[in-house]
Structure formats: C-alpha cells, structure tokens
Amino acid sequence: MFEVTRLVHLSPDTDATARDRLMTRVREIAAPAARRVLVEPTLPGVRNGGDVLVHLRFDHSADWTGPVAEVDALLRGSPVIHVDGAEYQGGTAGIAEPGATGSVYRVLLLRVAPDIPRATVERFEAELLRMPGYLPGIRSWQLSRVTRGTGLSPWTHVWEQEFTDLDALTGPYLMHPVHWAHVDRWFDPECPDVIVRDRICHSFCVNRPV
C-alpha cells in the first residue's frame, strides 16, 4: 500500500464552517482513487499536530498521481498556513487480533539524524514495534520509512496506531514504563542514545474513515 499523511495547520481565526468545507473538499478529491480516506479535526493534546489530520491509503503510488496536485493546491490556499506531511510505502504492520480497529487514529512524524548507523536505526525501529505487545489499548500499528516528506523537517519515519479510545493513548501509552524507560531515550536530547534530533509531530483524531 502507498500512504499519504498531511497535518494541516489553519489560521487561528478559521471557523468550523471553513474547516469543514476544507475537509469535505479533500475527501471529495481523494475518494475516487483512495482505498482509505481519513480527514478529521485533530483532538486536544496534539503536539505540532495541526488542526486537521489527513491520512490517505492507495493500492499503488500511481493512484496518488491523479489527486496529488489538486490536494496540494487546496492545502496551499486559505485558511491553511502550514502543512507537515509524508508519503510512504506501508511498512511493518500488525494488529492485535483479526479485524481489530480502534476509535482513535494516531500518527507520529519523526526524523532520525542522518549520521546514525544503520544498525542503531534498526534497533530503534525494533523497540518501537515491540511497544504494542505491552499495551493492549493499541489495536493496530504500522512503522514506515518516508519516501518524501514535506514541512519543517525532512521526516524519516511515520509511526501509526489505532487505539481503543483516547484514554488508551493519553494515559497508558505515554505513561507506560516501556515508553519512558526504553523508547524515550531515543528522543531525549539529554540522553546519549538520542537519535531523533528535530521536532516531532504527534497528532491524533477520531478514527472515522470514509
């Protein structure tokens, strides 16, 4: 699968009507070519996560060549003030059980520093992928390497999950020992193991694809 994520930051004076009109138009453009279209307002608590989260899934990268110009042109106009995003082939994925879905979709855009040895990057990826085994609130997950990134950082990875509910994300996930005792060291600038040196985008929304 080929996937596209866009985190859309809107002007502070944008009202709900203008925001919803933008979301509707993105859905209309993407839907004919996409297998999955998720376009929803972000929920409170995102970090550099924008006001609207767009996640599109296509069977092939060629399916994105039709809507890309129109979607990107739309996201360059008012009321959009900034977009962070990534395009990528679906990476290592898993599900808690057959047909498992969650009510909250979360995505993390991150950049691993370019001078990091390959073996270290692979160890970092393996630790991220072990997390769902400790957290039953994660119903499905995927870790992918970015083909093309846009925004304020040249993103290298996209880490996605579906959670049973918002509490499973904001509580057990972020506060679990496997997170702060193992995974956080890759992100902590005061830790010698740090490899993620730029800002991250932590965004989530209601999981309501069309």
For the record, the structure tokens of 25 come out as 């138009």
Alpha carbon distance 118, 34 (integer Å): 33
Domain 2-206 has CATH 3.30.70.100: yes
Q: Who wins on pLDDT, 179 or 4?
A: 4
Residue 169 clears pLDDT 70, i.e. is over it: yes
**pLDDT band at residue 176 using 50, 70 and 90 as cut-offs:** low
For the record, the structure tokens of 195 come out as 């490899």
- Give tens-digit pLDDT for 108-146: 999 999 999 999 999 999 999 988 988 889 999 999 999
Task: Tell me what the pLDDT averaged over the chain comes to.
Answer: 93
**pLDDT band at residue 98 using 50, 70 and 90 as cut-offs:** confident
